[in-house]
Amino acid sequence: MFTFFPSMRQRTIAMSSHTSRTPDARISRKPVIWLVLLSILAVTKSFADTLPNFSALVDTEGEAVVKISVVSQSGQNGLSGIPGFDLEQLPENYRRFFEQLPLNPDRGPRRGTGFGSGFIIDSDGYVITNAHVVDGAVDIKVGLQDRRELSATLVGTDKSSDIAVLKVDAKNLPVVKIGDSDNIKVGEWVLAIGSPFGFEHTATQGIVSALSRSLPDETYIPFIQTDVAVNPGNSGGPLFNTDGDVIGVNSQIYSRSGGYQGLSFAIPINVAMSIAEQLRETGFATRGWLGVRIQNVDQSLAESFGLTRPEGALISEVTPDSPAEKAGYRAGDIILSFNGREVPFSSALPPMVGVIKPGDTVKSIVLRDRNKKTIKVTIEPLEKDVKNARTKNSQGKRLSSLGATVAPVDQAELDDLGIKHGVRVVELAADGAAEDANMMPGDIIVSLNLAQVESVNQLESLLEDAPTDRSVPVLVQRGEDVEYFSINLR
């Protein structure tokens, strides 16, 4: 095993060729060999002792990790002649191949099952997972470590960040500890807990291999890259550091086969929690928008602009009437820092802008005419997010205990009606509480149980606190008339 030591026969022959050596000299070398061996064993043990032991972390934090099971329905028809065939369980490249096969037009929309992971962030039952895990779901179940399986409602999703928030009807649930993803360092040990391939509460470990990684079509997420084994089913699960804090949400893998190949990517927890808070408050999320077209700075461009090394994001175009134009940015400016953080390359800028709350004003340092200049800019919401919000509002939110779908009302319409607050009834459920109370689509709920209704989320909270063993009054604006209804909540 230790090739740097000669064999015993070689040592004997070598010593016999020198008459000055004695058997005593041969024997005296044995303690030296044993000392070297012991030293090697000591170093090996010392190295082993420095490796993290995640067993205590799994015991304490694993209870807040859940399995997400979904039943989804797509608009496509099922594959002809292959009963029970589930494309969702295939790697993406194989799934695309089968989806191109001829379909049977006589079959209805295809229903499939899938699974993922998640973690509890609030003891009252709020769960974070990936948006792609619950995309198109018609039924969602959350499996706890104590083997309970609870039905979940979808609070909101944000496909741009791949974050979704679910709500289960339960109290005093275990919750994870939320860490700070801004303090992550490359090389630190991390642990993922999830349900790869449906195997519940599976733990895999590795290290952080890169930070602020940009991926195609994922402009606004500075991904954490790790070598943790992440497979289908891990999506939405937590990424822990050695202190037991969640620092990321496992989201994607880089793979040519559909399985783990050494690269996995997690959404930083600071980004995920910011999106989750917005989803809980409004049901949708918005990102900051600057309004510039940028490119990377290579060595030749750096020299031509007077930089000592390549850095920053070079502005090639400023969008008219954008926050950037209003702030005074120009084509040819190189953004060197934004909101107190250096911009090492162009792809690092969009995530920095995206995490800024619309309406906030931040400082940036740009290089203009070989001189540094400070520019303050007020960030506005990304137009795509505004459109998504409008779509979300028009669709409304379904409140099961009320038996109705409700949506916000524009302030201009409230002013025209002469009221200060309320939410609109968009749709009634058959045989629901609202229908039984003779409410109608288009009604504006002004108050419930004598409490003002300021928003959809507030109405949801009022419904949770309202009694179900007796009727409660609800004040409704119908056209120009205001009327109280008596409603028995379910």
Closest listed residue to residue 168, CA positions, set 181, 149, 147: 149
Same domain assignment for residues 65 and 113: yes
Which entry of 235, 251, 364, 447 is annotated as an active-site residue? Answer: 235
Closest listed residue to residue 474, CA positions, set 404, 415, 413, 418: 404
| Residue 390 forms part of a structural domain | no
Same domain assignment for residues 13 and 123: no
**DSSP characters over 295-357:** EE--HHHHHHHT-SS--SEEEEEE-TTSHHHHHT--TT-EEEEETTEE--SGGGHHHHHHTSP
| Residue 182 forms part of a structural domain | yes
Taking the C-alpha atoms of residue 419 and residue 443, their distance in angstroms, rounded to an integer, is: 13
Same domain assignment for residues 241 and 145: yes
Percent of the chain exceeding pLDDT 70 equals 77
pLDDT at 365 over 90: yes
- Cβ–Cβ under 8 Å, residues 79 and 103: yes
Q: In the structure, what pLDDT confidence band is assigned to residue 198 with cuts at 50, 70 and 90?
A: confident
| Residue 84 forms part of a structural domain | no
Same domain assignment for residues 31 and 173: no
Give per-residue pLDDT as tens, 416-451.
Answer: 788 889 998 888 887 788 988 888 878 899 999 999
Same domain assignment for residues 233 and 376: no
Q: What is the pLDDT of residue 14?
A: 40
Q: What is the pLDDT of residue 6?
A: 37
Q: In the structure, what pLDDT confidence band is assigned to residue 225 with cuts at 50, 70 and 90?
A: very high
Same domain assignment for residues 119 and 245: yes
Q: What is the pLDDT of residue 408?
A: 86
pLDDT at 453 over 80: yes
Same domain assignment for residues 201 and 245: yes
Taking the C-alpha atoms of residue 106 and residue 111, their distance in angstroms, rounded to an integer, is: 15
Residue tagged 């020198």 (tokens): 18
Same domain assignment for residues 303 and 270: no
Closest listed residue to residue 189, CA positions, set 238, 266, 241: 241
Is 421 an active-site residue? Answer: no
> Which of 355, 383, 411 represents a domain boundary (last residue)?
383
**Sign of the CA dihedral running 145, 149, 154, 155:** negative
For the domain that residue 426 is a member of, what is the CATH number? Answer: 2.30.42.10
pLDDT at 109 over 80: no
Is 201 an active-site residue? Answer: no
Same domain assignment for residues 198 and 69: yes
Q: In the structure, what pLDDT confidence band is assigned to residue 313 with cuts at 50, 70 and 90?
A: very high
Percentage helix, strand, coil for the chain under 3-state DSSP, each rounded to 5: 30, 35, 35
Same domain assignment for residues 57 and 13: no
Is 162 an active-site residue? Answer: yes
| Residue 371 forms part of a structural domain | yes
Give per-residue pLDDT as tens, 7-40.
Answer: 333 333 344 444 444 445 454 566 667 676 766 7
Same domain assignment for residues 42 and 30: yes
Same domain assignment for residues 343 and 430: no
| Residue 426 forms part of a structural domain | yes
Give per-residue pLDDT as tens, 140-178.
Answer: 999 998 889 998 888 888 888 899 999 998 889 999 999
Q: Quick one: average pLDDT of 456-480?
A: 88
Which entry of 158, 162, 245, 333 is annotated as an active-site residue? Answer: 162
Closest listed residue to residue 273, CA positions, set 172, 180, 339, 383: 180
Which entry of 74, 80, 86, 132 is annotated as an active-site residue? Answer: 132
Taking the C-alpha atoms of residue 212 and residue 220, their distance in angstroms, rounded to an integer, is: 10
Least trusted range by pLDDT, from 20-24, 104-108, 199-203: 104-108
| Residue 101 forms part of a structural domain | no
Residue 43: both structure tokens together:
């170093």
Q: Quick one: average pLDDT of 295-324?
A: 92
| Residue 136 forms part of a structural domain | yes
Taking the C-alpha atoms of residue 122 and residue 279, their distance in angstroms, rounded to an integer, is: 14
Range of the domain at 364: 288-383
Its pTM surpasses 0.75: no
Which uninterrupted H or E stretch holds 433? helix 433-436
**Phi and psi of 230, rounded to 5°?**
-120, 130
Q: How far is CA 112 from CA 30, 69, 84, 89, 476, in A?
A: 69, 11, 9, 9, 41
Q: What is the pLDDT of residue 117?
A: 93
Q: Count of domains in the chain?
A: 4
| Residue 81 forms part of a structural domain | no
Query: Who has greater pLDDT, 385 or 460?
Result: 460
